[in-house]
A and B are shown apart, each in its own frame.
Chain A
Amino acid sequence: MSVDNKENYLETRSMIDYVDDTSEKGRSSSVLKRWRKAINNINRKYSKPRLKMTPLVKVSLLALRLYLIMLVIILSYKFYTMVM
């Protein structure tokens, strides 16, 4: 493929993609893709906690996890007894 042909091909391809994306399904999948990309970027940006993991921080985060697990168990129990 010559350079000119390749450029024409790429331009046509991007136009087809654009037309595809402006269809109802294309638009929604494009929005979903954008959100997914944004979330991935956030996850990458904050992948490592900046706070130094001192014993106080570690214990506090562990206590929070246990607290939340306890709440989930209590709520599940309540839901189970309500349904039953």
Chain B
Amino acid sequence: MEGAWYYYKYRRFIKWLGLYLALAGPGIIVMIADNDAGGITTYAATGAKFGFNLIWLLVLLGPVAYVVQEMTVRLGAVTKRGHAEAIFDAFGSFWGWFSLIDLGFLDFLTMVTEFIGMTAALQIFGVPPILTIIGVSILMISIFMHGRYWTWEKIVLLFCGLNLIYIPAILLIHPNISDVTKGLIPGIPISGFTGDFFFFFMANIGTTIAPWMIFFQQSSVVDKGMTEKDISFGKFDTAVGAFFTVVVAIACVILTGTLLFKPGGIDIDSAAQAAIAIMDSYPIVSYALAIGLFDAGLLGAICISLASSWAMGEVFGWAHSINNKVSEAPMFYAFYFLSLIFAGIVVITPGAPLVLITLFVQVVAVTLLPAALVFLLLLLNNEEMMGKYKNTLMQNIWGFLIVFIVIIVSTLYALSVIFPEMFK
């Protein structure tokens, strides 16, 4: 009798797993792509500067990202609309245009930073930037040529798997487990609550939620055709993605914290610089760091350009599904291809202000992030639109608290970029 019960449970689990694997994708992709080239650079710089002292913060940021992204799953599955269209519909054309134009501008600048990360990563292998740009453009275009969401998603999930390269890399460097464990306990470094510490604290929170993530996941849920009954799978998918994004972030901090950190900390400007710094002593780990950086930039570029293209398609009424072939959705694909080609051209243009663009991204992000988050919360509280899937009291308490903190910290981070002496 007991055997039959276990068999029944086993069969149910297998059925559930099959369903989950069919519906898995948007949550994992958006969360792992959150660790884009800028994110990996932030984690690498954090490890080099503060060792393992900020690992606890990364652990806390997983649930923060989950709370925000889970709302996009419900909103997309219930309304069957992307975030851009939902903003136009609910708040009118003023806020709609503001969000769409700001998103397009911000995504383009962020794409440029992803290309900067990819070219820097492949330069470690001796690949010239122009070849990287051409190769990446061909790769990104060919991913979409199948005209099937399923195929696109599975290819991108493979790239997400490559992002876990930091985990085997850690096994090669034998970090001090006791020190890593200490890093899990919230606290501040021995050097105290300095301006540098606050800057890195803000930078790590700032990389957790980006406006494109909200637009991307909601549109992705809609394009995948998820409905109300799939919400629990979508939530689980997002939780799995949040888990892996934290694991990758911590792995990156452990890498540079073990290999580069010295008392007082060292400053690095990019993950590529960290990879070069450890090349002589740990060449395999250095290559792993470079491959991870390239992959992070690629995932970021794929998702960011798609977030803009989906948003444009929703608002202008173009056919905008990855299930459409290029001939069926020409404007959607044209916008996607042109944005990535122009971003690539900016990176290889001699004298282009790439450092300024990298800094400016943070500033432009805070013009859109508060609006996107506030709209998300307001939409999730609309009973007419969401029905029984509207936010519960508990979800609202966490949602409003997290949105408030993210807005304050992101704004302070942007201000520290505009006025570098502010927190010194």
Contacts and interface: CB of A to CB of B under 8 A. Distances in A.
Q: Is B one of A's binding partners? A: yes
Interface of A: 38, 42-43, 45-52, 56-57, 60-61, 63-64, 67-68, 71, 74-75, 78
A64 B415 CA distance: 17
A60 B90 contact: no
A71 B317 CA distance: 32
Ordered nearest first, which 8 A-B pairs have the shortest CB separation?
A49-B92, A51-B90, A46-B88, A46-B93, A43-B93, A49-B91, A78-B418, A50-B89
B400 to A, nearest CB: 10
Given A60-B374, A60-B378, A74-B415, A68 B367 contact: yes
B386 to A, nearest CB: 11
A45 B89 CA distance: 8
B384 A52 contact: yes
B317 to A, nearest CB: 8
13 contacts: A42-B96, A43-B93, A46-B89, A48-B92, A49-B91, A50-B89, A50-B90, A51-B378, A57-B378, A64-B374, A68-B371, A75-B418, A78-B418
Given A51-B382, A52-B384, A67-B370, 7 more contacts: A42-B93, A42-B315, A46-B96, A52-B382, A63-B374, A64-B374, A74-B418
A68 B366 CA distance: 9
Interface in B352-392: 363, 366-367, 370-371, 374, 378-379, 381-382, 384-385
B32 to A, nearest CB: 30
A47 B93 contact: yes
Nearest to A51: B90
Interface string B83-103: 000001111110110000000
Contacts of A61: 91, 95
B316 A38 contact: yes
B87 to A, nearest CB: 9
Contacts of B371: 64, 68
Contacts of A78: 418-419
Contacts of A47: 92-93
Interface centre among A51, A52, A75, A78 (most CB of B within 10 A): A51
Interface centre among A45, A46, A75 (most CB of B within 10 A): A46
A28 B10 CA distance: 64
Nearest to B85: A46
Contacts of A52: 382, 384
Contacts of A75: 363, 418
B375 to A, nearest CB: 9
Contacts of A67: 370
A42 B90 CA distance: 13
A57 B380 CA distance: 12
Nearest to B414: A71
Interface in B185-214: none
A68 to B, nearest CB: 7
Nearest to A44: B93
